[in-house]
Structure 1
Amino acid sequence: MRTKKLIPLLTLTLVAFMAMGSLASAESKIILTPKVDAFALFIDTSPSMAQSYKATGASKIVAGLNALKQLNGVIPNLGYQSALYTMPNFTTYSPKTTYNKSTIAKGLSSISTDLPFFQSTPIGSGFTDLDKALSTWKGKMAVIFVSDGLSNSGRNPAAIVSQLSKKYGDRLCLHTISVADTPEGSAVMKKLASLTPCGIFVEASSLSNKAVLDKFAQDVFYTQEEELIVEIIPVPVVAPMQEKIVFRNLNFGFDKYQITEEMEPSLVEGAAILESYPNLKVMIGGHTDSTGPEKYNQGLSMRRAESVANWMAKNGIPKDRIVVTGYGEMNPKYDNNTKEGRKLNRRVEIDVQE
């Protein structure tokens, strides 16, 4: 009895050998893609930041600067623009320019840790000043704000950040690194991070943990994907045709079903292989993760499968060779309780049978 072999697709890259006698050698590399076009480090240098941070023996400003120095050490250079500012007296320590680790490190080292004793802390006004700088920026922006969350004058900082969130929409992500030593200060820092669609809150002390530091950097600055590079080497035909063509998973973004430019080179390769075997029937199945209503996911999975089927039909694979099925969320291959598992479950798979 003939058996069907599931053809998972990740970037639709060929990873096995074809029955005609081709050998495939493969290696993988990690591809980093920036999440933002520019970012600003924004540091509170008000009097309360001179106080001791928890039981570390260091002041809050020292702890905050150390956290940023650690972060600067793991930010990959992906062509971002970057800047370094302080408040409450809005000061530019590094103007917006192409990100350079040495430039940011020099700016961080030049910020004084000898803070004034008599000065108000208007965090809201600080963000108003920051907005004047951000208003000229293009694309997606991240602001990493270091503070203890204590504000004793001016407008409520949450109100100002809410206005910024409405102004910039999903272009702005406000992330907070907290050196708070009071429940009130910590609550303010968490609140500020929650006011933009993608904000992240973290304790400065937690960034001394390498795993936490790396995760924060990835969540803020970049996405990471594994790309499989395959070389097909023709060899003489010495055996009957084998009924398997193995691809990697083709994964879609959350609630997405459109074919992206990044998928097309591998889809072209896949279509060319299928054209070489005109007797193979192509069965395309779409899948989703478990997020959202089951009925909606069923339709979404069909749309994903149809996107791949339509692409194949437009690129040389006759429609009468293609069967499309949507499985919704019913056939997960990975753990839907994890972010990575949900991502891998948002897939299209191809089944081929002679």
Structure 2
Amino acid sequence: MKKKIAILFGGQSTEHEVSRSSGASVLRNIDQSKYDIYPIGITKEGLWFEYTGAVENIEDGKWETDEYYKIADGQNLLFNKEVDVVFPVLHGLFGEDGTIQGMCKLSNIPCVGPGVMASAICMDKIYTKYLLEKFNVKQADYVVVNAFEYDQNKELIIDKIEKKLGYSVFIKPSNGGSSVGISKAHNKSELMLGVEEALKYDRKILVEQAINAREIEVAVLGNDSPEASVPGEVIPAKEFYDYEAKYKSEASKLLIPAALSSVKLDVIKAEAIRIYQILDCAGMARVDFLVDKETEEVYLNEVNTIPGFTKISMYPKMWQATGKTYIGLIDELIELAIERNNK
């Protein structure tokens, strides 16, 4: 008997468009001889629909106006337990932050990826840092800024950042992904502009010391005995890997495996697994590192619990380079979700 799989795409976050691309890619590659598929789209306004039309219409957003193939109340499939596994391909808030995971837990439906706690912590860059500091995970120096304090005394906050970190710095919303709202500041005016831009996306932000580093990513898969993929390297088309460099520019390059010694690659893989286990991740995550170009010291950058699944995304590409097919990866993620739900 076929398992019934709900694949969630879209969502209310700033990564809605990326999620549609990831969802379409999963729908194209999942083995439909094994599963009955229920694509569920969520609009930016938070409306849920079961969608039975062309996959191409998901990618370009036309699915929302495709009334002939759109059935209201997609949530009923979950709440009425009409599916066996939920596969959320929802990047960012209201999908990657523990909300969907909590809904599935309440309904006792296996959900692909980490659970409520791990999802919530990894979504919040600041709390990821707070937790991993206790385990001596090396990270860039940082300052936390919240909107209330910044409004009260902007000059004091800027002075604190300059004294502790100097320049250059990265400014990031604490909760967010796909580099939305992230900027790099080389001076005070850029810093103030960057802080105000990041605060449009979150009430608290992270200002990090910029490291002259290479960007190395590792795909991790598993529950209690996770494994790490061959690490890959991102060579951005711009000064850093922002939204445009990730999704719009063909000049950015992905190098798999990363051009590091086998010893250094093994160190990075081991650290990725250690971080994954500290955070109590399950199913999957992509662990991103910065490797200093001069010293080769390894710093954690961030952890993504629902990494991109588009045709150019690093997570499936790194597993393909390690020997797992895209279709096999989807199968394994579904089985891992069922295994974790039964424990």
Q: Give TM-score, length-normalised by structure 2.
A: 0.32
Greater relative contact order structure (CA < 8 Å, 6+ sep)? 1
Q: Give TM-score, length-normalised by structure 1.
A: 0.31
